[in-house]
Amino acid sequence: MSTVKHTLTHIPRSRRRREVVENDEFAAFARRIIRAHGRRVATGDVEALRDLVALSAVIDDAIGEAVIGLRAFGYSWAEIGARLGISRQAAQQRWGGQP
């Protein structure tokens, strides 16, 4: 185990990558669930509208947590911004002040 630890210390933080666990199918599944919830509201379930809107805040929090985690893992603001289709500065302004 000390060999693995020693090896990782010589890899620059910005180049360390974690094996992907959740994949495109997982993201597609999440999208299908959210869309299905919207269709349910659209069929007259007005009580569920508040829950659907609340998902927006949950998703925003999840994105913030993901960005903070990626930064701690060694990803740069430029790498994160590129994946989101925004500038490095925009990513840093949006999530840089979060603990």
pLDDT at 97: 83
Residue 16 lies in a domain: no
What is the per-residue pLDDT across 50-98, written as a single tens digit (0 to 9) for each? 999 999 999 999 999 999 999 999 999 999 999 999 999 999 999 998 6
pLDDT at 13: 56
Residue 14 lies in a domain: no
Q: Which domain holds residue 51?
A: 21-95
Between CA 14 and CA 6 the distance in angstroms is 17
Higher pLDDT, 8 or 60: 60
pTM, to two decimals:
0.68
Alpha-helix runs per DSSP H in the chain? 2-9, 24-42, 49-73, 77-84, 88-95
Contact 67, 91 (CB under 8 A): yes
What is the per-residue pLDDT across 31-43, written as a single tens digit (0 to 9) for each? 999 999 999 999 9
Number of domains in the chain: 1
Residue 15 lies in a domain: no
| Helix 49-73 × helix 24-42 angle, to 10° | 160
Residue 10 lies in a domain: no
